[in-house]
Structure 1
Amino acid sequence: MSALPVPLYAPLVLFDEWDEDCGQGRRSVVLVATMVVLVALTVVSWSDRSAASGLLPLDIAVGVLACGLLPLMLRRTVPVALVLVVLAVLSPAATPPATCGALLVAQRRPLVVAIAVGLAGVAGHAVQGLWRPTAGLAFVWWLVLAVVAHAALVASGALTRARRALLVSLRERARRAEAEQAQRVAAARSHERTLIAREMHDVLAHRLSLVAASAGALEYRPDASPEKIARAAGVVRAGVHQALEELREVIGVLRADGTDPAADRPQPVLADLSALLAESRDAGAVVHVDDRVTDPAAAPVTTGRTAYRIVQEGLTNARKHAPGGPVHVRLEGGPGDGLLIELRNPVPGGPPEAPPGSGTGLVGLAERAQLAGGTLGHEITPDGRFRLHAALPWPP
């Protein structure tokens, strides 16, 4: 019984299934051990005829040399596979290692190279079949079996290589998807914290400007009645307390991971403007209001919150840059008509004392209005007043 190439690649397919999970040394040991067994079986099956023709030493030498080349084939796949094809021409003992070489080339190299090595293997076994024919098997059938076996080896190796490439691609896509997801989460978290910081800027600036105005009244009006002094001191105390509470909240939110719903602050709406204006009057500000809003409670949440922040920042700027001056606030609009906001306050004649601040309040207001679908502008009017105006959407 001769050693045909047809069944000899089956153990190597199994070997390939765990090829990626084993080290180079362990793969070499398993490959050499498998091939030694197959080469030994091939030499034994040909021993009678080889001994009769005096070729048994050649078979043994070729088998030992072929097995010795196998560890090198894991690093130099194509050259060693071609050497094994040449050895297969000399002896059937090299058939198992030669078929192993064809399979590994197909698994590790492009399809064109694998086909070329497969054709070389078919040619080598064709020469072997002419020189040392198999008893009971015509040369034509031997050639057909060699072609089928090498075609199966090339196809199996190419499929394995394609599967590996697909797995690598999927792993890379999964890694990129995880990285992109992490970036999106980080960007969303950064965006949310920016919004929170902007909210806190508006709130704290308003609160501290009230405290500064009340403290200024205490400083410049020492002759005020005890009732007014007590009232101003109460405003300062309450303002500082609220400012500390709000600062504690924003620090806690910015330290959190952004996933705690309890960290979200209740957001103001348009109906809260009356309380904001009353708070400014309590601090001593002169605020005139022309409110022509038809139904403040029906205002959209985004529109109401943006309007509140615009008025809040306008009052804060007036206290900073024109302390003691009257502020005129006009609100007009309703469902389907939009919401118009206008604040006017006098511009000081001389250079005022520079108040502390980042100078980004109006920039933040413009961004708020744009995000809400509206517009915001400011200018100095001909009569010497600072005018802050905004138009916000209010769907019907």
Structure 2
Amino acid sequence: MLPSAVIEGLDPAAEPSGRRPRRTARDWIVDFGCFLLAVLVGILAMDTLEQEPDLPKAVEAVDQLIGALACAAVWLRRRWPVGLAVAMVPAGLVSGTAGGAVLVSLFTLAVHRPFRYVAWVGGACAAVQAVYYWLRPEPGVPYLGAALFGVLLTATVAGWGMLVRAKRQLLLSLRDRARHAEAEARLRAEQAQRLAREAIAREMHDVLAHRLTLLSVHAGALEFRPDASREEVARAAGVIRESAHEALQDLREIIGVLRAADADDAGRPQPTLAALDELVAESREAGMKVTLAGRVADPAAVPASVGRTAYRIAQEALTNARKHAPGTEVTVSVAGGPGDGLAVTVRNTAPEGEAPRVPGSGQGLIGLSERATLAGGTLTHGPTADGGFEVRARLPWA
């Protein structure tokens, strides 16, 4: 919702605290233009006064004095739009040279205040116009024509001001909606990151539980087999040391990631890079044209956490290709080695014709980026030069 002070005044630069902002260069130009318009109308009215021979000089002098004061009061139109418009109603009744200031004040009121103010003040101005031309008829102009012209001029100025107000209100509403949309987009992105971290934490929890269980089993074997041979003890100690090292590696990845309260996914088997061939085969059975262009010579040598991340990246990228670019050729490439890192690339060609519009918020790609970051790597994605799409990730392989 827009602040009440902004809605009431319809000033885009208005401050929520209620203090009026300083005039900008544009405000000074507009105010000066309104002042010149009021002065110009007053000068034209002075020529009309000279055409009234029966008008006393004192009345003419008072008319011009009130007109000058009304023109000077135009500079107060932003601070007191209602008060100025109300004050201009009696001024318009006794002074013809104040007509320009009356119109400017009515326009300002229509721009900065709701319709109820414009209706009362505009109606009063129209009535004053009719009385003015009855008391001081225009030379050579019928009373009915002059009064009707005054009423139409008043209605035109009020309508123009309300149109400007409606336009400004629409712009403020669109800006407010844009700010709300940006805030909602940030919240959705943060929620997607949180959900991705929770999913990763669940997976790491399961893997870490497996490591610790293995440690417990081998430590228990040493405890209950004190007569074991040196080779058996050395083998068990090696398994314990390796499992402890891998558990510490997994623990470093899970630090800072909160685990979700529900355990619906607990106990599920965790994929590794060796399961990539099965994933590609499943995609082919689903009707996709998938080519596994690159492989790692020994998938079992890839660290478990890195292999899981690479598998999830390929899985999500294949899902996106099946949803957003059905029927295209997809190429999956995995390459790298110890010390060089692991590179995962999933690229699909440009779809034939117009791609189907499938609802999606991009949360899958956000989750992939989160996975790659937590694994110590990077992930990039975007369209290719030939109109296709590519997901490229680089993961560390110590």
| Partners of 1:84 and 1:101 within 8 A in 2 | yes
| Partners of 2:46 and 2:64 within 8 A in 1 | no
Change (3 A) 1:241 1:200: same
Q: Taking structure 1 as the reference length, what is the TM-score of the superposition?
A: 0.55
Change (3 A) 1:136 1:249: same
State the Cα distance separating 1:160 from its structure 2 match: 1.5
Q: Does 1:92 align with 2:96?
A: yes
Distance 1:172 1:156 in 2: 24
| Partners of 1:35 and 1:67 within 8 A in 2 | no
Distance 2:129 2:136 in 1: 10
Distance 2:245 2:110 in 1: 77
Which residue pairs with 2:300 in the alignment? Answer: none
Q: Does 1:230 align with 2:234?
A: yes
Residue 112 of structure 1: which of 112, 116, 119 is its match?
116
**Which amino acid in 2 is paired with 1:38?**
L
Which residue pairs with 1:76 in the alignment? Answer: 80
State the Cα distance separating 1:147 from its structure 2 match: 1.7
Which residue pairs with 1:136 in the alignment? Answer: 140
Which residue pairs with 1:45 in the alignment? Answer: 47
Change (3 A) 1:297 1:159: closer
Change (3 A) 1:20 1:193: closer
Residue 34 of structure 1: which of 36, 39, 43 is its match?
36
Secondary structure of the residue aligned to 2:79 is coil
Change (3 A) 1:43 1:147: closer
State the Cα distance separating 1:35 from its structure 2 match: 4.8
Which residue pairs with 1:126 in the alignment? Answer: 130
Which residue pairs with 2:250 in the alignment? Answer: 246
Superposed CA deviations along residues 49-86 of structure 1, whole A, max 9, x for unmatched, are 46873133112211122124333443332332122121
Question: Which has the greater radius of gyration?
Answer: 1
Superposed CA deviations along residues 229-287 of structure 1, whole A, max 9, x for unmatched, are 12211211221222233233445x959xxxxxxxxxx9517x97xxxxxxxxxxxxxxx
Superposed CA deviations along residues 199-240 of structure 1, whole A, max 9, x for unmatched, are 111101111221122123223322101221122112112212
- Report how many residues are paired: 250
| Partners of 1:66 and 1:94 within 8 A in 2 | yes
Range with greater deviation from structure 2 (130-139 or 120-129): 130-139
Distance 2:280 2:159 in 1: 73
**Which amino acid in 2 is paired with 1:80?**
L
Distance 2:73 2:177 in 1: 38
Which residue pairs with 1:177 in the alignment? Answer: 181
| Partners of 1:43 and 1:59 within 8 A in 2 | no
Distance 1:297 1:139 in 2: 91
Which residue pairs with 1:58 in the alignment? Answer: 62
State the Cα distance separating 1:191 from its structure 2 match: 0.9
Change (3 A) 1:131 1:297: closer
CA RMSD of aligned residues (A): 3.5
In structure 1, stretches of 5+ residues that fail to align are: 1-17, 256-265, 273-294, 301-396
Which residue pairs with 1:168 in the alignment? Answer: 172
Distance 2:138 2:49 in 1: 13
State the Cα distance separating 1:149 from its structure 2 match: 1.0
Secondary structure of the residue aligned to 2:98 is helix
Change (3 A) 1:40 1:157: closer
Distance 2:34 2:174 in 1: 32
| Partners of 1:31 and 1:70 within 8 A in 2 | no
State the Cα distance separating 1:38 from its structure 2 match: 2.2
Distance 1:152 1:171 in 2: 29
| Partners of 1:32 and 1:67 within 8 A in 2 | no
Distance 1:163 1:228 in 2: 85
| Partners of 1:118 and 1:151 within 8 A in 2 | yes
Give me the identity figure in percent. Answer: 38
| Partners of 2:38 and 2:101 within 8 A in 1 | no
Which residue pairs with 1:268 in the alignment? Answer: 271
Superposed CA deviations along residues 361-384 of structure 1, whole A, max 9, x for unmatched, are xxxxxxxxxxxxxxxxxxxxxxxx
- Aligned pairs for 1:263-342 (under 5 A) are 267-268=270-271
**Which amino acid in 2 is paired with 1:74?**
R
Change (3 A) 1:296 1:132: closer
Distance 1:44 1:220 in 2: 117
Change (3 A) 1:141 1:43: closer
In structure 2, stretches of 5+ residues that fail to align are: 1-9, 14-20, 259-268, 284-398
State the Cα distance separating 1:167 from its structure 2 match: 1.7
Change (3 A) 1:47 1:298: closer
| Partners of 1:59 and 1:92 within 8 A in 2 | yes
**Which amino acid in 1 is paired with 2:137?**
P
